[in-house]
A and B are shown apart, each in its own frame.
Chain A
């Protein structure tokens, strides 16, 4: 009996101990584990990038681990940090940086930028400030942008011509956007179902997985109308002001007039099949759309200007280095290499993402590429008026949810615009004014 007890214990211990990874191979090569959630059409470009890096750095192997969707990735990262199996470097959505900092899971970038293999001030200043703002939390830089994105307007030229509009003149302001969209919304047999819709707005259930995506697409309209998200000491939200009301009224009117609540097809499928005339999207879908939209005559235009100014939202994906990493300096070497202008140029061309720094625009290879690809060029040129929202210190996720609720309430006609925003702002302000540490 005693022997079987011993056997039992040994088995149990070996079960619990298994799966401890070793970082250092016998030949001195270092493995850097890299987690990401790139869409599948980007993976070939990523693999290509990694091969180039490994060729240039024979001592370092990059092992990628793909986790579908950024929201699932953060959940995996939490468990990994708790069980001490975090990757060396990971791709994260900007709004989760706060959580990782609170868990003391990631290094501030200053550790590397000011280190032996550092980054000079000129390089750092070359990166778009809107991106660095997202990459930071409480004014400390915790991550580096790997690529940039923004939102532009994709439109079907054939449908423009059919509606008697000039396909060389995409909508320049909100009135044109609304007017064009209505003109291209068609119910040919009068059965109450539209056969063609002029424009698509991503209005999703606020509680659903796409709620944050909806809010992200609403921000440029808030800025175009001169609105703002929050005041500077972060004690009060401002999105319920006149700018927010104008932006939400535009969305509500479009949603109502185009009867978008009956529009359930995926926007990309609808756009590819010629049932959708205009849609907002980012550059990451360009490689996919080139194939999907082979039979569509389409173009990319900047987002129309609002009553206050032209604006689009800039985003990106961010790389961050984990404190549990056994080889943080090798991870940094990878990160530093990725933001080199020549690497950025190649990566941007291959992946369809936008470069994170201005120096790339002078890269000869890149210049040739954007001249040959007007759709991609439209995204690059939009970086000029790209804006971003400084991440707030606390309750960022909750406040975004409250905005999403306001959008949903107004668009579905449950509440009028001012009422929906006011109610949402009150909820957010209550959070912001709650004592710190609660």
Chain B
């Protein structure tokens, strides 16, 4: 081996003795990562140019036809639209609510820890178990929601079996399930804002709202941006709650991207087509992540 010049970051060449010991320690994770992540990812990329039903040994190369079929399939556009509606529904609600709770809890109140734990609890519950509970709450005959509506002489609303309300029901549950994480992130962000800024503003005669809009919001912006992108990525990948609550119905009104991929892969055994859709989803998410990285860099520069 040619000795590698020491650079600033002190890189250790993998094939040196030291590098090899590191590799040994990393190997369990590496083996798992390579077999269960890297290889399938590459395999699925190759598959997206093939037609394969998983059963037969023969895979026929079809070039870009899976991709062109996808853009011609009206169902794909419907599914994309559903995914966007879900994302545009959950993300703002989620962020608004989690910011409000974080700000309200960012002072000394009795039982603060308990309240925070209660809000965080949905994140910890298994999504499928939570969705089963929500299915009961949405039940048109016995559900809690219609029971509450009954107090105001409204309803009964057929939450999950009506194409007009099913997506809304999913969004509501999505917000409930995930806003706890964002609340914690916002809380951490709030604690990073020095108290002195608020004191100074108060002395200058700034009211509560002014302080919130002029100090809290701008100084939270790196956190806000991070949460925005992460929530969008999460919403694009929603599957388990959809599976349990509506199975993509009624009339396909809640069929989202990952559900569509699952259906083509494991119901119709069209692995090539499913892989192509997965890569389109990947491209969209990669684009979001790229914006995030770029924006983080510039906001960090602004802050310093």
Contact = CB atoms under 8 A, between A and B. Distances in A.
Contacts of B246: 205, 208
Contacts, number: 91
A81 B249 contact: no
A99 B55 contact: yes
Give the interface size bracket for A toward B: 35 or more
Contact of A412 (B56, B156, B250, B259): B250
A8 B267 contact: no
Nearest to A11: B27
A5 B246 CA distance: 52
Contacts of A207: 247-249, 252, 255, 259, 263
B107 interface: no
Contacts of A412: 161, 163, 250-251
Given A4-B20, A4-B24, A261 B162 contact: yes
B163 A262 contact: no
A247 interface: no
A105 B248 contact: no
Nearest to B139: A264
B266 interface: yes
Interface string A397-410: 11001000000110
A12 B31 contact: yes
B165 to A, nearest CB: 11
B251 A414 contact: yes
Contacts of A12: 31
A265 interface: yes
Contact of A100 (B55, B158, B247, B263): B55
B156 A192 contact: yes
Contacts of A397: 267-268
Interface residues of B, number: 35
B298 interface: no
A208 B247 contact: yes
Contacts of A401: 267
A309 interface: no
Nearest to B269: A99
A14 to B, nearest CB: 12
A75 interface: yes
A204 B160 CA distance: 12
The residue in A207, A397, A398 that gathers the most chain B C-beta atoms within 10 A of its C-beta is A207
Interface in A186-207: 191-194, 204-207
A335 B81 CA distance: 50
A1 B20 CA distance: 8
A105 B57 CA distance: 11
A380 to B, nearest CB: 34
Contacts of B163: 412, 414
Interface string B258-275: 010001001111000000
Given A4-B24, A8-B24, A75-B266, A204 B249 contact: yes
B55 A78 contact: yes
Interface string B48-59: 000001111100
Contacts of A75: 266
Given A8-B24, A192-B156, A412-B251, A265 B17 contact: no
Contacts of B251: 205, 408-409, 412, 414
B173 to A, nearest CB: 16
Nearest to A437: B60
A103 B250 contact: no
A261 B150 CA distance: 19
A262 B247 contact: no
Contact of B141 (A1, A193, A409): A193
A185 to B, nearest CB: 13
A193 B251 CA distance: 23
Nearest to B267: A397
A82 B55 CA distance: 7
B260 to A, nearest CB: 9
Contacts of A191: 150, 156
Contacts of B55: 78, 81, 99-100, 102-103, 105
A102 B266 CA distance: 16
A398 B269 CA distance: 11
B158 A261 contact: yes
Interface in A234-271: 261-265
Contacts of A265: 139, 141
B24 A82 contact: no
A397 B269 CA distance: 10
Nearest to A208: B247
Contacts of B139: 264-265
B31 A102 contact: no
A308 interface: no
Contacts of A210: 247
B140 interface: yes
A1 B17 contact: yes
A82 B31 CA distance: 21
A408 B160 CA distance: 14
Interface in A261-314: 261-265
A80 to B, nearest CB: 11
10 contacts: A4-B24, A99-B269, A102-B56, A194-B141, A204-B247, A205-B251, A206-B249, A207-B252, A264-B161, A414-B163
The 10 closest A-B pairs by CB, nearest first: A205-B249, A208-B247, A103-B55, A207-B248, A262-B140, A205-B247, A261-B161, A78-B54, A193-B141, A103-B56
Interface of A: 1, 4-5, 8, 12, 15, 75, 78, 81-82, 99-100, 102-105, 191-194, 204-210, 261-265, 397-398, 401, 408-409, 412, 414
